[in-house]
């Protein structure tokens, strides 16, 4: 990475957060189905 | 690669549309049996939405976002590679269902239970391919957000970003929010079919209408996933050819954000006829109509950008202007269908088919075509043949209206959608629509010829700027753009915003 760019660690952390949100929504909606179904 | 893939899928889905329109050319059953017709309507929608429109916009983002924000490349190239290569596998699986016992899925792209559970051997393959497409979209969206958040040039604050980048940032958040919802819905379908659960089976205490709620909680934002990047493209093209900065850059950002937010609270307008309480109908009707406000802000801003501009009408600008007029027609018919008592009449008629095709074809597809013409010289280093481009535009614009405008009349006269045969009073306009569809399909071969000509190095060499002093970092690098740009982050004057 050149000077002025964010670090690879920061890139990875952002990506992992977003992936975790996606998984949480997936599980959340199936749980919604379990409660309502 | 995304763009080539989506072009191939455009022709696969287009061929299915030709089968549909051939069958509907005249009343009676001519070419295909009703079950195969239903397979065609279902597969046409899945291929066009997940195979053509979405990958095309992801392709544009992959190519243009790093160039526009002053980054060398996307932040996560390996994940990018993976998210692309999932797609050919997913669509091979989906298309292979055409050859399976019981045929391809035929219950509509919405996959409503209990109908979809009657699909033959294709059912698990359908569910698996939907999961793969969702996975690919989520990975693509993560990559785009990470690139925009982490890789911008140091001086580029969020509100200085070009509108195309803004529209994609918001679209990517929408994708991460709703693709898992679709995955959850189809996972529950799978367990209902094979593992004895009753999420959506009334006989086991489940609720089929709950599937519709969950599906459209994904489905409505999905519509904006396909149209917000189109807004971004048009916001890039119009200022360049009006030779004026975009009117109301910040208000455009707020309008897109408002549309994205509203897209989460309007889903039940797709299902007014399921028998929901009056309060629910009123809420979803008014929330839907509210979307017209930020959309109106955008249309006003684009028009104000052109006001007293030194306009020229090259092919990208023609597509952007046609987008403005024709997408607005789709928007108006959208407001009509948002009105509950009227929608009960329009429900499941060709009026709805006319509405969403006006949004997706002269809306999303025209923006993609305009974007390809706009950035093609930057990609290939060659200018396309302007005369051929203009011919392609006019053929496309005329045939798209010949195809889809009569569908309004057919719908209002009562022709239902998803039927292979119809009463004879509908035959005249169906004939017109089919002729338009064949013309529209054939015109796109000209587009392929124009693009391939540029890729093979024919045409005048393009300068770095390509157009007449366009704004944006992508025009500061040579044409064709090198594999890695901006190894040193570019400096941006403090007052400058792009597009």
Q: Give B243-253 pLDDT, tens digit per residue.
A: 999 999 899 99
Out of A10, A22, A33, name the one closest to residue B199 (CB).
Answer: A33
Average pLDDT, integer, range B232-260: 93
> B residues 235-294 near A, CB within 8 Å?
none
Report the pLDDT value the prediction gives residue B493, as an integer from 0 to 100: 65
Please choose, from the candidates B167, B121, B115, the residue with its C-alpha nearest in 3D space to the C-alpha of residue B145: B167
Catalytic residue among B2, B112, B129, B222: B222
Is the ipTM of this structure higher than 0.85?
A: no
Q: Model confidence over B25-61: pLDDT tens digits?
A: 999 998 999 999 999 999 999 999 999 999 999 999 9
Cβ of B146 within 8 Å of Cβ of A33? The answer is no
Mean pLDDT of B101-129: 92
B425-to-B22, B26, B421, B494 alpha-carbon distances in Å: 18, 11, 12, 64
pLDDT, residue B485, reads 79
Facing A14 at nearest CB: one of B146, B200, B488? B146
pLDDT at B135: 94
Task: Using a pLDDT cut of 70, give the percent of chain B over it.
Answer: 99
Range from B16-20, B154-158, B284-288 carrying the lowest mean pLDDT: B154-158
Interface mutation vs chain A, best among B69, B149, B184, B217, most A CBs within 10 Å: B184
As a whole number, mean pLDDT of residues B409-432 equals: 94
The predicted pLDDT at position B316 comes to 95
Q: Is the dihedral of CA B107, B109, B113, B119 positive or negative?
A: positive
At residue A6, does pLDDT exceed 90? no
Q: What is the mean pLDDT of residues B297-307?
A: 94
Whether B217 has a pLDDT exceeding 90, the answer reads: yes
pLDDT tens, residue by residue, B356-375: 999 999 999 999 999 999 99
Judged by CB atoms closer than 8 Å, whether chains meet at B188 and A23 is answered as no
Task: Give the A:B interface size as CB pairs under 8 Å.
Answer: 84
User: Which pLDDT score, from 0 to 100, does residue B478 have?
Assistant: 85
Instruction: Read off the pLDDT band of B495 (50, 70, 90).
Output: low
Based on the residue annotation, tell me whether B192 is a catalytic residue of this protein: no
Over residues B64-75, mean pLDDT: 90
| Confidence class for position A4, pLDDT limits 50, 70, 90 | very low
Q: Which chain A residues are Cβ-neighbours of B142 within 8 angstroms?
A: 15, 18-19, 22
Predicted local distance difference test score (pLDDT) of residue A1? 42
Q: How does residue B494 score in pLDDT terms, banded at 50, 70 and 90? A: low
Q: What is the DSSP letter of B450?
A: H
Report which of B66, B46, B67, B42 is spatially closest to residue B55, judged by C-alpha positions.
B46
What's the average model confidence in pLDDT over B206-212?
Answer: 92
CA–CA distances in Å: residue B248 to residues B163, B240, B244, B311, B466: 11, 15, 12, 18, 25
Which band of pLDDT confidence, cut at 50, 70 and 90, is reported for residue A37? Answer: low
Residues B259-285: what's their mean pLDDT? 92
Contact A26, B214 (CB under 8 A): no
Residue A2 has pLDDT above 60, yes or no: no
B181 touches chain A (CB under 8 A): yes
- Looking at residue B204, the DSSP 8-state letter turns out to be G
CB of B205 within 8 Å of a chain A CB? The answer is yes
Q: Is the pLDDT assigned to residue B492 strictly greater than 80?
A: no
Instruction: Convert the pLDDT of each residue in B303-357 to its tens digit.
Output: 999 999 899 999 999 999 999 999 999 999 999 999 999 999 999 999 999 999 9
* Position B499 confidence tier, pLDDT thresholds 50, 70, 90: low
CA A11-B166-B55 angle, to 5 degrees, is: 80
Residues B343, B73: Cα–Cα separation, whole Å? 46
Nearest CA in chain B to A8: B75
Percent of chain B with pLDDT over 90: 81
Chain A interface includes B180 (CB < 8 A): yes
Residue of A nearest to B490 (CA): A4
Q: Give the 3-state secondary structure of residue B117.
A: helix
Give yes or no for residue B153 having a pLDDT over 90. no
Q: How much is the pLDDT for A35?
A: 85
Q: Is B355 a catalytic residue?
A: no
Q: Are the C-beta atoms of residues B66 and B473 closer than 8 Å to each other?
A: no
Q: How many residues does chain A have?
A: 37
Looking at every residue in chain B, the average pLDDT score rounds to: 92
* Closest residue by Cα to residue B269 from B315, B335, B208: B335
More confident residue, B489 or B221: B221
pLDDT at B272 over 60: yes
């Amino acid at each position: 990475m050149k000077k002025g760019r964010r670090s690879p660690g920061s890139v990875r952390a952002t990506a992992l957060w977003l992936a975790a949100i996606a998984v949480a929504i997936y599980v959340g909606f199936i749980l919604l189905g379990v409660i309502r179904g | 690669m995304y763009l080539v893939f989506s072009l191939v899928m455009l022709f696969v889905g287009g061929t299915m549309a030709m089968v549909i329109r051939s069958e509907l050319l005249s009343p009676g059953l001519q070419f295909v049996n009703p079950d195969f017709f239903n397979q065609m309507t279902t597969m046409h929608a899945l291929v066009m939405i997940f195979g053509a429109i979405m990958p095309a916009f992801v392709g544009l983002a992959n190519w243009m976002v790093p160039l526009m924000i002053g980054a060398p490349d996307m932040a996560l190239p390996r994940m990018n590679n993976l998210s692309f290569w999932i797609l050919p596998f997913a669509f091979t699986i989906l298309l292979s269902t055409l050859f399976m016992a019981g045929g391809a899925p035929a219950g509509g792209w919405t996959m409503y239970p209990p109908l979809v559970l009657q699909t033959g051997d294709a059912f698990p393959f359908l569910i698996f391919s939907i999961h793969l497409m969702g996975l690919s979209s989520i990975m693509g969206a993560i990559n785009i957000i990470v690139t925009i958040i982490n890789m911008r040039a140091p001086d580029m604050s969020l509100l200085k970003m070009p509108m195309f980048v803004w529209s994609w940032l918001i679209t990517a958040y929408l994708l991460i929010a709703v693709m898992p919802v679709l995955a959850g819905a189809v996972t529950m379908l799978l367990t209902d079919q094979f593992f004895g659960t009753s999420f959506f089976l009334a006989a086991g205490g489940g609720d089929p209408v709950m599937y519709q709620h969950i599906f459209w909680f994904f489905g409505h934002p999905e519509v904006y996933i396909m149209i917000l990047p189109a807004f971004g493209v048009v916001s890039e093209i119009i200022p360049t050819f009006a030779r004026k900065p975009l009117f109301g850059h910040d208000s455009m950002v707020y309008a897109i954000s408002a549309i994205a937010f509203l897209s989460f609270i309007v889903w039940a307008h797709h299902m007014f006829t399921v028998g929901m309480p009056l309060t629910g109908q009123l809420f979803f009707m008014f929330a839907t109509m509210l979307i017209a406000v930020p959309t109106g802000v955008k249309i006003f801003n684009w028009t104000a950008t052109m006001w007293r501009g030194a306009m020229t009408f090259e092919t990208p600008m023609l597509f952007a202007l046609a987008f403005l007029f024709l997408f607005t027609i789709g928007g108006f018919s959208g407001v009509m269908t948002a009105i509950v008592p009227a929608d009960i009449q329009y429900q499941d008629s060709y009026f709805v088919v006319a509405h969403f095709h006006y949004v997706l074809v002269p809306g999303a597809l025209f923006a993609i075509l305009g974007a390809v013409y706009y950035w093609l010289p930057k990609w290939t280093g060659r200018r396309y043949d302007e005369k051929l481009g203009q011919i392609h535009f006019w053929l496309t614009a005329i045939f798209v209206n010949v195809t889809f405008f009569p569908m309004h009349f057919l719908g209002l006269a009562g022709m239902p959608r998803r039927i292979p045969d119809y009463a004879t009073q509908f035959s005249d306009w169906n004939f017109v629509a089919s002729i338009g569809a064949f013309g529209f399909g054939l015109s796109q071969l000209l587009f392929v010829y124009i693009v391939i000509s540029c890729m093979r190095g024919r045409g005048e060499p393009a300068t770095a700027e390509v157009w007449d002093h366009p704004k944006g970092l992508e025009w500061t690098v040579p044409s064709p753009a090198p594999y890695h740009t901006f190894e040193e982050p570019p400096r941006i004057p403090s007052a400058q915003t792009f597009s």
